[in-house]
Structure 1
Amino acid sequence: MTPVQIRTRPPAHRRSATAVITVTVEIPADDPRLARRLTAALGVLAQSGGRVALAAEGAQQVPAEPAPATAPAALVIDVPGREVTLHGEPVALTRLEFELLAFLARHPGMVHTRPELLHYVWETPDLGLPGRTVDVHVRRLRAKLGEFDTLVSTVRGVGYRFARSTDVEYRPGPVQDRGLTI
């Protein structure tokens, strides 16, 4: 097996926050399990909002294992449609509640401080102003999420985190991370 070759093309436009990464991997023809595992790993990347294109050159493509039938997600966050549904029923969120939920869900497992949330969701700098704006919006958002209120968890003394869950479907829209680097 030859080493993996990686080429990265920087974002065409700074605000798009996307980059194209080309990876070339040579897999021995006598190891179809390795190809299936690599395809499954790329599928995970695609589910988290990335686009994945596979191309096989000079080798027989291994048919992918059929995906198991899954029930529709109980909580759907549709960013392009600006809609949140809970068991198929729309949830009435204000503009800032929706932006807050979408931002947290876009980065599951990542802790965001209150100043970060003020910057990226409210688009205002934290000038050390007293107030509990973020806390109040999180409390209202949790109340509207009902049984999924635990998805938005508090990290004491730090900020908030959105938990990873198989019951949540996040449908990303155009990337607008406003400069957030991970």
Structure 2
Amino acid sequence: MSLAIAPIRTAAVRTAPSLPDAPARPVSIAPRAAETITTPVQSAAPAAARTGAPRVRAVPEGTEARGFVLYVGIDEAKALEDGTTLHRIVEALRALTAEVAPSAETYAAVALAPEGAGGRDVDVVRLALQDPAALAKQREGQGTRDDADRHPNGVIIDISRKRVLLDGEAAGLTYKEFELLQYLVLREGRTIDRHELIESLWDADDEAPSERTIDVHVRRLRSKLAHYQDIVRTVRGIGYRFDRHADVSIRQASTPSPDLY
């Protein structure tokens, strides 16, 4: 059985660490993040069948129900307004499950979304936890946008698909060039020094490039951005910065880039 509770704040799905006083498999709710709580539960499907209990609706022949997921959308501010906390909600649901079905096992996970993501809390939670129906609906909605993407004007930086379109044409960035641009985009308006770029974009096992090499990567990136190259600014003596322009559109899934989270 799965149980999910999630508030909303920063986009990646993450399993929370353990809660202090939780039973069996404790879960902790990050104090500053929106969370979704997921709980796998074992269900006695064979026993139900033997007693003649009705099958769960919409379960195809040849399969058996092993549990369920309950998506709960609420952020920390709303929980406080209701006189509770995310932690208390999770514990109450765990206690109820133990009371109704003592043999059930539960597991809680936290769903995070970017601050100010907008939309209904429960919809954000479903997307963050990769609910198939929610993902299918999102793909349908993106279909019309994809058609519009073929010949748009301006820059589209699609972080979820790892691509950059310039006036509808792919910019053809290398993996490292995209990683570099993405790093700057996710820290919009902040000047990033060369040392931070080296530490963040090159693994410890790799041969670390020199600061001059970073300049070469940035130069190549800017040349591929063509007449939009000024979105990547050079701050003399410090490093580089991404500046948003009116003709730049940034697309990101509900789950944030692992680069940042």
Q: Does the pair score TM above 0.5?
A: yes
Structure 2: gaps (5+ residues): 1-6, 17-29, 35-74, 82-112, 122-151
Alpha-carbon separation, structure 2, partners of 1:125 and 1:112: 22
* Aligned counterpart, 2:161: 81
* Aligned counterpart, 1:69: none
Maintained 8 Å contact 1:82/1:98: yes
1:19 aligned onto 2:33: yes
1:52 aligned onto 2:118: yes
Deviations along 1:40-72, one digit per CA (max 9) or x if unpaired, are xxxxxx9x87422469xxxxxxxxxxxxxxxx5
Maintained 8 Å contact 1:106/1:170: no
Maintained 8 Å contact 2:194/2:211: no
* Aligned counterpart, 2:198: 118
Identify the match of residue 226 of structure 2 among 140, 146, 167.
Answer: 146
Identify the match of residue 241 of structure 2 among 148, 161, 167.
Answer: 161
Identity %: 39
Measure how far apart 1:166 and its partner are.
1.8
* Aligned counterpart, 1:105: 185
AA aligned opposite 1:100: L
1:91 aligned onto 2:171: yes
> Aligned in 2, Cα 1:91/1:179: closer, same or farther, shift over 3 Å?
closer
Measure how far apart 1:159 and its partner are.
0.8
Alpha-carbon separation, structure 2, partners of 1:128 and 1:84: 26
Maintained 8 Å contact 1:118/1:125: no
Alpha-carbon separation, structure 1, partners of 2:183 and 2:210: 23
User: In terms of Rg, which structure is larger?
Assistant: 2
Alpha-carbon separation, structure 2, partners of 1:163 and 1:97: 17
Deviations along 1:87-142, one digit per CA (max 9) or x if unpaired, are 00111111000111111112210111111111222234999974512100100011
> Aligned in 2, Cα 1:8/1:89: closer, same or farther, shift over 3 Å?
closer
Maintained 8 Å contact 2:183/2:259: no
Give the 3-state SS of the residue equivalent to 1:140 in structure 2: helix
Alpha-carbon separation, structure 2, partners of 1:109 and 1:146: 21
Q: State the aligned residue count.
A: 137
| TM value normalised by structure 1 | 0.59
Give the 3-state SS of the residue equivalent to 2:226 in structure 1: helix
In terms of mean alpha carbon deviation, does 110-119 or 169-178 score higher? 169-178
| TM value normalised by structure 2 | 0.43
Alpha-carbon separation, structure 2, partners of 1:87 and 1:156: 29
Alpha-carbon separation, structure 2, partners of 1:141 and 1:95: 11
1:175 aligned onto 2:234: no
Maintained 8 Å contact 1:96/1:122: no
Structure 1: gaps (5+ residues): 1-6, 27-45, 56-71
Alpha-carbon separation, structure 2, partners of 1:169 and 1:104: 14
> Aligned in 2, Cα 1:95/1:179: closer, same or farther, shift over 3 Å?
closer
